[in-house]
Amino acid sequence: MASKKIVFIINPHSGNGSTGRAWSHIHAAAKDRLGPFKSCLTSGPGDATRIARSNLLDGAELIVCVGGDGTLNEVVNGFMDENGPIRTDALLGFLPNGTGCDFVRTAPIPRRIEESLDTIRDGYACFMDLGRIQYKNHHDEPCIRYFHNITSFGLGGEVVARVNRTSKAFGPFISFIWGTLMTLLHYGKKSIRLKVDERYDREVTIWNVAVANGQYHGGGMRVAPEALINDGLFHITVIGDLSLAGVFRHLPKLYNGRIHEITEVSFLTGRKVEALSSEPVLLDVDGEQPGRLPVVIDMMPSAIRMLMKNSSSPGV
Delineate the domains of the chain, giving CATH numbers in brackets.
6-123 (3.40.50.10330), 131-301 (2.60.200.40)
pLDDT at 314: 43
Q: Closest by alpha carbon to 37, among 73, 91, 103?
A: 91
Mean pLDDT of 292-310: 97
* Residue range 16-35, pLDDT digits in tens: 888 999 999 999 999 999 99
The yes-or-no verdict on residue 168 having pLDDT over 60 is: no
How do beta strands 200-206 and 265-270 pair?
unpaired
| DSSP sequence for 66-90 | EE-HHHHHHHHHHTEETTEES-SS-
How do beta strands 91-96 and 291-307 pair?
parallel
Instruction: Say if pTM beats, i.e. exceeds, 0.75.
Output: yes
Q: Does 95 or 287 have the greater pLDDT score?
A: 95
The yes-or-no verdict on residue 299 having pLDDT over 50 is: yes
Single-letter residue type at 292:
R
pLDDT at 313: 43
* Residue range 36-49, pLDDT digits in tens: 999 999 999 999 99
The C-alpha atoms of residue 39 and residue 48 are separated, in whole angstroms, by 12
pLDDT at 157: 79
pLDDT at 99: 66
The yes-or-no verdict on residue 177 having pLDDT over 70 is: no
Q: For residue 162, name the pLDDT band (cuts at 50, 70, 90).
A: low
* Residue range 194-246, pLDDT digits in tens: 999 999 999 999 999 999 999 998 888 899 999 999 999 999 999 999 888 88
Task: Give percent of the chain with pLDDT exceeding 70.
Answer: 89
pLDDT at 316: 43
pLDDT at 165: 59
The yes-or-no verdict on residue 170 having pLDDT over 70 is: no
How do beta strands 291-307 and 272-276 pair?
antiparallel
